[in-house]
Structure 1
Amino acid sequence: MDRISVNRFSFRRKGSHKKNKEENAEPEFNFSTLSYISQDEAEKMNEELLSEYAFNEVQLLELAGYSSAVATAKCYPVEKMTRDNGAILVCCGPGYNGGVGLVCARHLKLFGYRPTVFYPVKSNMASICDSLSRQCESLDLPFLSYFPSESHLIQDSYNLVVDALFGFRFKPPVKDTFASVIETLKKVEIPICSVDVPSGWGAESASPDGLQPELLISIAAPKRCAKLFQGKFHYLGGRFVPRTLEQKFDLKLPPYPGTDCVVELKTQKSTEDEKPDDTGE
């Protein structure tokens, strides 16, 4: 007796597979409900990740830095860059965001870019960031010994700047070494990609004296200052945040597509572009 192959028969009604897929699809996220968190909430979320959820600083830096690199690569593909085979400048500050920048630079190198790192002040997480610096050096990433004083030197040499100077803990104004750095970066005409909070801004408010990036990569959840972001791209990197922590802080965040570690958020600019034309044309 011949064996019957079940694969030859279909017991599903025509069109039912498509219908089931549509029924199981998640509803589209309503961006008008998107959560923006305060500096205090960001600090408490970070503390809970470290204590209640047993993450450590290195893990969080790695996850945030990898997310930042992926978002940057999505917006600015290396194959479309015109200067020096994907040359970019990664500016790292003295705190947590500086560590994120070092991780971001390493991953961008592995993605095929040519990062140069500016890291003038050792982090208050010195042992961790020493290790992150050594990892960058092992991939032959150059470190600048001084920051270019003229903006044209930056835009003539690099395709974009990753701003990982200051994060959500920063409170304006910018002081000391970094004041002149930010003044120079404000004059460059290549894209700036800011990690979590544009440098010079506070976590809860924008600042005309700070950077005005083209890409903002929010980490874990957008900070309140992101409501005032007027750039071209806004991404969220925070797939590591446990669902129970989202619920505790009553966060409304969009789902991540597929296996991506980042999700694109709507910006003020994209929302305005979607508004109907009052002229009726």
Structure 2
Amino acid sequence: MTIAHALTRRPRTLGIVCAVCAVALGLLYLALAGAPARYLAINVAALAIGLAVLAMPGRLATAGQQWAGAASAAGAIALLATALVGADVDGAARWVRLSGFVIQPSLILLPVMLVAFSRSRSTLATASIVAAAAAMAVQPDRAMAGMLVLSLAAIATLRRDTHVLVALAASVASFAVTLARADTLPTSPYVDQIVYSSFDIHAVAGMAVWVGLATLLVPALVGWHRDAGNRAVYAAFGAAWTGAIVAAAIGNYPTPIVGYGGSAIIGYALSLLALPRLAGAHAGAVPQASDEMDSPLSDRHLRVELA
């Protein structure tokens, strides 16, 4: 009970637990499906990278929040570069090849950009989201364009301002462009169309996929209930990953976390970094000593007990 209570007060820590569980369930699916051992190793390595990012010193994380606009701009530039010079497959340029590995920058960068935008909106951050929407139209990537629309619509429902409305309008236009353009990419084994096909392998494989996907949304649901002051943040997080899940269920798009592919795993970890460290803490806020004293477990003690 103490651990459960502490987890609900620490969105990032809860997210780490959910990420580990989802990756583990994904490994179970991949093993039952007969995926190459290299696929399992890549997913584990991606989780290790994501956890290493989340283990950054507090000062570095705080600096990242202060420079959120510049970081979003860098992310938008990376997405535009991918659209223009990325690896092209059947007319879609969504990937970058690095030393024999293929990554999808949009799955890594868009979720954290959206959650950060829900916390801190500026002209630079808005321009970055608009540029990211343009990149999704050029690539084209219907799934990620849908993620943009869904997440920004969730933010607009709770915190409607000019920045959000401009970004939402750009995302809707981007999504319309992707709907108008043909998407003829074939299904990739162990990546696409596994939400339903996993049950053809074994009932346990199917349940592993479904439970793993549901686990990804737990931080958003718990945060919404426990942290009313930051509901826009949890709505952006939950809507972004719901969009990725829905896209994977209806089209040839990567199934996040539980399917093969490290991009979504790293992207999920990065998006956790944009959540409040403590429920009730606002962007850039530093927990007071009294809050730490009222907490039943410190972060250090919680990590020990979870281990």
Taking structure 1 as the reference length, the TM-score comes to 0.30
Q: In proportion to residue count, which structure has more strand?
A: 1
Q: In proportion to residue count, which structure has more helix?
A: 2
Q: Which has the larger radius of gyration?
A: 1
Taking structure 2 as the reference length, the TM-score comes to 0.29
Higher relative contact order (CA 8 A, sep 6+): 2
